[in-house]
């Protein structure tokens, strides 16, 4: 016992912010002027602190076995200081073997499992998400084209950035795979005049977007479908396709078939934009030190990350060619801190919206999730890539000898006009 306390005292002294720990017996370690305070209710929670198992520590907080006081930025700085090794490196050992990963990925990503996993996260509460997201409820990395942009402006800039990359033209058939609360779907229809189709597995999102389509008078050329991407009809192709924050839920074993499906849905000469979170390391499919397990249990069951190199390999195997790649990692760190700040400013409302013990656990989980992911993006443990693709061998006919039709323009300056 004394060894555990001594270890804790040494660790506290090395942290980047002053931290105080209240022990289960009421004793205290650390300075009285601490910026972060942990009140442990069990020795096991204290052990998680000492061993740098921040994922288990997060679970202790969610389940009420430890209390945490301090700003989320200070809490995350302390958590990072507790780590004994990089969560990118430790994630390799704490996950499955190559064979095990493949088997688990197959099991976790049946149509039934995917539907339940999406419902678990996205159907939590519309009012809760509305507390901390922008008015359009865009639940993905924003694009801070101007450093003075607020969250709402940066999300609109992201929507337009995607539409510009896809070179959307009026009348084109546009597909949004995993359309969320309809931000991109409606932006593309209203600002670029496309015929837009969105799909989701979330009943709440489907109802929300369907209502918006009717309110905006877009029923003739915009539709939202409650549908698995695997069940999309391939008899009619799309000119442009976007997938934003979706392929993280596909499963590693299905990435090639996922991109193959997109290729079959894309007309010759069309473009597709895949926007999603990627792993910071080349072989880890989740963060170590218990962080990946925390997200799996409380936030995103079934989520699997791959490195950007694996994304390029999978889409190439699926018959697509990557023509432009942009890393938006710093943009996602700023987005997540904006979400975290918004939630912190409205915690009382969040607890009222998500009533009961399960709701309180969800609020505590999202406090750590949003701030923890912001820190992870800042430190490069995870990343965000936008990959623009075309069918392999596509050529823009009016600039090069080859088949006519819209493909990736000869120069990329068209994105920034």
What is the C-alpha separation between 376 and 373, in angstroms, rounded? 5
Task: Count Cβ atoms below 10 Å from residue 352 Cβ, excluding itself.
Answer: 12
Q: What are the residues whose beta carbons fall under 8 Å from the beta carbon of 81, sequence distance 6 or more?
A: 14, 15, 16, 17
CA-derived radius of gyration, the chain: 23
CB-based contact 390:272 (threshold 8 Å) = yes
Ramachandran area for residue 193 (φ above 0: left; ψ -120 to 50: alpha; else beta): left
Strand-by-strand arrangement of the 173-177 sheet: 222-226, 195-200, 173-177, 238-244, 266-279, 382-391, 320-327
Q: Write out the catalytic residue numbers.
A: 373
Strands (E), 162-317: 173-177, 195-200, 222-226, 238-244, 266-279
Q: Which two tokens stand for residue 260?
A: 């193959």
What is the C-alpha separation between 79 and 17, in angstroms, rounded? 10
Nearest alpha-carbon partner for 416 in 346, 324, 352, 339: 324
């Amino acid at each position: 016992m004394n060894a555990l306390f001594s270890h804790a005292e040494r660790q506290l002294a090395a942290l980047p912010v002053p931290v105080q720990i209240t022990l289960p017996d009421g004793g205290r370690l650390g300075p009285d002027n601490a910026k972060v305070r942990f009140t442990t209710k069990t020795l096991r929670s204290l052990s998680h602190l000492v061993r740098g198992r921040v994922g288990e520590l997060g679970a202790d907080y969610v389940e009420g076995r430890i209390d945490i006081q301090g700003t989320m930025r200070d809490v995350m700085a302390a958590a990072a200081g507790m780590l004994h090794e990089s969560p990118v490196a430790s994630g390799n050992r704490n996950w499955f073997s190559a064979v095990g990963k493949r088997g688990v990925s197959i099991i976790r990503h049946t149509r039934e499992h995917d539907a339940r996993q999406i419902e678990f996260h996205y159907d939590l509460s519309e009012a809760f998400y509305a507390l901390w997201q922008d008015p359009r409820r865009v639940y993905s990395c924003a694009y801070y084209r101007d450093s003075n942009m607020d969250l709402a402006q940066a999300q609109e800039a992201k929507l337009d950035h995607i539409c510009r990359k896809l070179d959307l033209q009026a009348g084109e058939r546009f597909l949004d795979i995993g359309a969320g609360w309809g931000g991109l779907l409606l932006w593309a229809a209203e600002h670029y005049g496309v015929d837009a189709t969105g799909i989701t597995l979330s009943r709440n999102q489907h109802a929300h977007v369907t209502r918006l389509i009717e309110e905006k008078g877009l029923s003739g050329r915009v539709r939202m479908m409650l549908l698995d991407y695997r069940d999309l009809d391939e008899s009619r192709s799309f000119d442009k396709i976007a997938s934003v924050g979706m392929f993280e839920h596909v499963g590693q074993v299905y990435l090639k078939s996922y991109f193959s499906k997109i290729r079959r849905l894309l007309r010759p000469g069309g473009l597709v934009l895949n926007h999603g979170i990627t792993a910071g390391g080349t072989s880890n499919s989740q963060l170590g030190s218990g962080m990946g397990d925390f997200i799996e249990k409380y936030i995103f069951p079934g989520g699997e990350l791959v490195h950007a190199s694996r994304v390029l390999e999978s889409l190439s195997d699926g018959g697509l060619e990557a023509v432009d790649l942009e890393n938006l990692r710093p943009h996602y760190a700023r987005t997540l801190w904006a979400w975290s700040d918004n939630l912190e400013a409205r915690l009382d409302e969040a607890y009222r919206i998500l009533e009961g013990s399960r709701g309180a656990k969800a609020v505590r989980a999202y406090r750590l999730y949003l701030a923890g992911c912001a820190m992870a993006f800042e430190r490069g443990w995870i990343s965000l890539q936008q990959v623009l693709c075309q069918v392999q061998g596509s050529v823009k006919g009016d600039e090069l000898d080859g088949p006519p039709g819209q493909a990736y323009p000869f120069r990329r300056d068209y994105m920034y006009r």
